[in-house]
Structure 1
Amino acid sequence: MTNDLPGSDPDDSEATRPETEQPDGGGRHPERRFFGIVDLPAVKTAFDAATAPLREAASANIRFSGVSAELRAQVARQVVPDLSALAPKVDWPGLADLAGTLTKAREAFEAVALPGNWRPLTSLNLTAMTKVIEEGVPLAWVPPHDVILALVAAPDAVTRAGVLDANRTSIVDCCHQVLAEIARPDLQDQKRLLEEAAVLADGNTYSAAQALAASVWDTVYRGVWRAEPTFQSGPRFRYDQVIAKLPPIDIDAAVIEFRQACVFGPFTKACENFFDTSPVPTAYNRHATAHAAGATQYTPANALTALMLAVSLLRELEEGQLSSQIHS
């Protein structure tokens, strides 16, 4: 293969090479190759149809969602240059290999960054998922993906509570599977308690499951608060102050940031203030679970919500991006 490509001079001398291409010993660097092409110039004209899948693969790993198509294409072009002027010299087998490599890289990235229960989903309706999470129902790590689809499709919170109750066995099984993935030594006590809570929930002793899971969830959240300065706004743990410090659910965020926001997102609804003069909440509420024990607050759906909240948070800590100092 020759070097006489547009933008390069086959007679260029050592002196005309950029200084960055001069090795320490004064000799010439080996020729740089990309798709089998020597010194690929910055070609601006299209070849969009051939490179669109590669651009999409590249841009998908930059942001989770919401970036305009124009901006994604602009960013991706910096990763995968247009090749139209070089079509006769393109190493197409090499290009195909790169496409396969990018696909594998994307799959590896998703395996690391996405919760296991999101991976079987062919698409994610982030807006609909956010609505469910803001109602206080966790969707990261648990429940199973088919339950996520049913929750998102449900028209209102009452129907969603019915979805949880109708899928109790599969939700509990998912909790057991996710808990089995937790290996951090400092999380083992809480893991064991949540395994007990899951057994209680599946055995129709859901009230005991709700009380135990709520206590574990509160314990673990306080552990994160102690270890993560971004959650702190004073020397004492206060629910309203913790809520004010929680990351917003932003569908434009990077994948891991979005995942963590989904883990913490239900906290706001689950810890809404509840006073003696207020009606007892029918949806899961940490304060009502602790201070208003009765048939209104203690329900199968609320027990499953409490269990999933705690399992979701504990599993997120297993990822290692967040610290915790659990006092137990």
Structure 2
Amino acid sequence: MKMSPPDDSSDAVPPLEPGIYALGTVESGAAGSNPPEAQYAKLLLSSSANLANGYRSTMLAVASMMNRAAEFLRPAVRALGEFLVSEDFARILEEFKKVVERQLPLNWRGVDVHHYSMMKALLIDEGLPLAWVPPVGILERVLEASSPADRRAVIGRNWRTIAEACAEVLDGVGEKRLAEHVGFAKEASAALLSNNISASQALSANLMDTILRKEFDPAYRGVIVSQKTKFDFEDHGFRIAMVLGPIWVAHGQYSPSAGEAIPTRYSRHATAHGVSRRQYTRINATLSLMHVTALLKMLDVDFEWSAEHEAH
């Protein structure tokens, strides 16, 4: 039996039936008057028109809703704008600023609020003691400096003014229990002002160690100096953290037995165990004095001394 050749008409496009397409009804004309390709084109055009009309209707509805919302909110927005430029809002903002400033050491009061965001990085990452000293003018120059090296340079250029400011802050420490510590801190300030840099740095560093051992219980002292965990700014009162955070940084690991180079940044351990011109510098002596000054002022104003503590 011979195979018949395929019927060429099997690949022809079947005619469309009228009225069965949801997106556009196709009306059939007289037989043979409307070829299938034309019917598809007509269907495509009809469907596209329907989609465009639907999209246009939706966008008009959304625009109408947005206009109504704008009309509804316009009085409130106008009132808010008027309030934000009013004297009442200015007074509220000023009172809020005063509330924030009362939580800061005196030398931070009046500092541009835009610098507040830098505070934690400078205290914890760079270990700069910036509470109570330096004076506000120098503090602002430190905050405006663009790098750690530039910030240290600001402190180095203003060491004398900072040393004098430390003496003034120490004069304001009134807690009797701290009187002996304050006396030694003033000696460290006088030594620095007399250009006895090494004597000042050594005295300040050892005095800080003495205060931590005498005025803090072992557990709290461990939190301040231990390098097993990073100092957590949030675990302490704000002004207290501003003082203790940089002290934690100053106790960073230094192991001469492991062949570590003596650091040039201020280090309590290097001051004690790495005496050299790399560690003993005017900038480090100034930073060491700033640490102990801030620590004593913190104990004076942010700690409550109980009768039991006084008898200790």
TM-score where L is the length of structure 1 = 0.61
- The reply to whether residue 135 of structure 1 matches residue 126 of structure 2 is yes
- Secondary structure of 1:117's match? helix
Query: Highest Rg: 1 or 2?
Result: 2
After TM superposition, give the deviation of residue 261 of structure 1 in Å: 1.4
In the alignment, which residue of structure 2 is the partner of 1:91? none
Whole-angstrom distance in 2 between the partners of 1:130 and 1:263: 11
In the alignment, which residue of structure 1 is the partner of 2:249? 269
In the alignment, which residue of structure 1 is the partner of 2:226? 240
Q: Tell me, yes or no, if the aligned pair for 1:219 and 1:326 is still in contact at 8 Å.
A: no
Structure 1 residues not aligned, in runs of 5+: 1-44, 55-94
Whole-angstrom distance in 2 between the partners of 1:136 and 1:167: 18
In the alignment, which residue of structure 1 is the partner of 2:303? 321
Q: 1:322 to 1:267 in 2, by over 3 A?
A: farther
After TM superposition, give the deviation of residue 283 of structure 1 in Å: 0.3
- Which residue of the other structure, out of 276, 283, 290, is the alignment partner of 2:265? 283
Whole-angstrom distance in 2 between the partners of 1:182 and 1:104: 28
Q: 1:222 to 1:127 in 2, by over 3 A?
A: farther
Q: 1:211 to 1:125 in 2, by over 3 A?
A: same
- The reply to whether residue 209 of structure 1 matches residue 200 of structure 2 is yes
In the alignment, which residue of structure 1 is the partner of 2:288? 306
Q: Tell me, yes or no, if the aligned pair for 2:101 and 2:108 is still in contact at 8 Å.
A: no
After TM superposition, give the deviation of residue 131 of structure 1 in Å: 2.5
- Which residue of the other structure, out of 234, 237, 249, is the alignment partner of 1:257? 237
Whole-angstrom distance in 2 between the partners of 1:124 and 1:189: 39
- Deviates most, 308-317 or 140-149: 140-149
Amino acid corresponding to residue 303 of structure 2 in structure 1 = Q
Q: 1:304 to 1:322 in 2, by over 3 A?
A: farther
Q: 1:176 to 1:160 in 2, by over 3 A?
A: same
After TM superposition, give the deviation of residue 232 of structure 1 in Å: 5.0
After TM superposition, give the deviation of residue 179 of structure 1 in Å: 0.8
Q: Tell me, yes or no, if the aligned pair for 1:219 and 1:327 is still in contact at 8 Å.
A: no
Question: What are the superposed Cα offsets for residues 24-80 of structure 1, whole Å, 9 maximum, x if unpaired?
Answer: xxxxxxxxxxxxxxxxxxxxx7853465589xxxxxxxxxxxxxxxxxxxxxxxxxx
After TM superposition, give the deviation of residue 120 of structure 1 in Å: 2.7
Percent identity between matched residues is 29
Q: 1:278 to 1:317 in 2, by over 3 A?
A: same
After TM superposition, give the deviation of residue 311 of structure 1 in Å: 0.4
- Deviates most, 143-152 or 205-214: 143-152
- Between Structure 1 and Structure 2, how many residues are aligned? 231
Superposed counterparts of 1:1-328, under 5 Å: 47-49=79-81, 52=84, 103=94, 107=98, 109=99, 112-133=102-123, 134-226=125-217, 230=220, 232=222, 239-240=225-226, 244=229, 246-248=231-233, 257-276=237-256, 277-321=259-303
Q: 1:327 to 1:217 in 2, by over 3 A?
A: farther
Question: What are the superposed Cα offsets for residues 87-135 of structure 1, whole Å, 9 maximum, x if unpaired?
Answer: xxxxxxxx96x9869956863x456432110113232513323222231
In the alignment, which residue of structure 1 is the partner of 2:47? none
Q: Tell me, yes or no, if the aligned pair for 2:155 and 2:283 is still in contact at 8 Å.
A: yes
Amino acid corresponding to residue 247 of structure 1 in structure 2 = D
Q: 1:190 to 1:155 in 2, by over 3 A?
A: same
Whole-angstrom distance in 2 between the partners of 1:146 and 1:162: 15
Amino acid corresponding to residue 120 of structure 2 in structure 1 = T
Q: Tell me, yes or no, if the aligned pair for 2:225 and 2:247 is still in contact at 8 Å.
A: no
Whole-angstrom distance in 2 between the partners of 1:272 and 1:327: 33
In the alignment, which residue of structure 1 is the partner of 2:66? none
Amino acid corresponding to residue 270 of structure 2 in structure 1 = A
Q: Tell me, yes or no, if the aligned pair for 1:232 and 1:245 is still in contact at 8 Å.
A: no
- Secondary structure of 1:266's match? helix
Q: 1:322 to 1:285 in 2, by over 3 A?
A: farther
Whole-angstrom distance in 1 between the partners of 2:245 and 2:119: 11
After TM superposition, give the deviation of residue 154 of structure 1 in Å: 2.4
After TM superposition, give the deviation of residue 186 of structure 1 in Å: 0.6
Amino acid corresponding to residue 119 of structure 1 in structure 2 = R
Q: Tell me, yes or no, if the aligned pair for 1:231 and 1:245 is still in contact at 8 Å.
A: no
Structure 2 residues not aligned, in runs of 5+: 1-75
RMSD, aligned α-carbons: 3.3
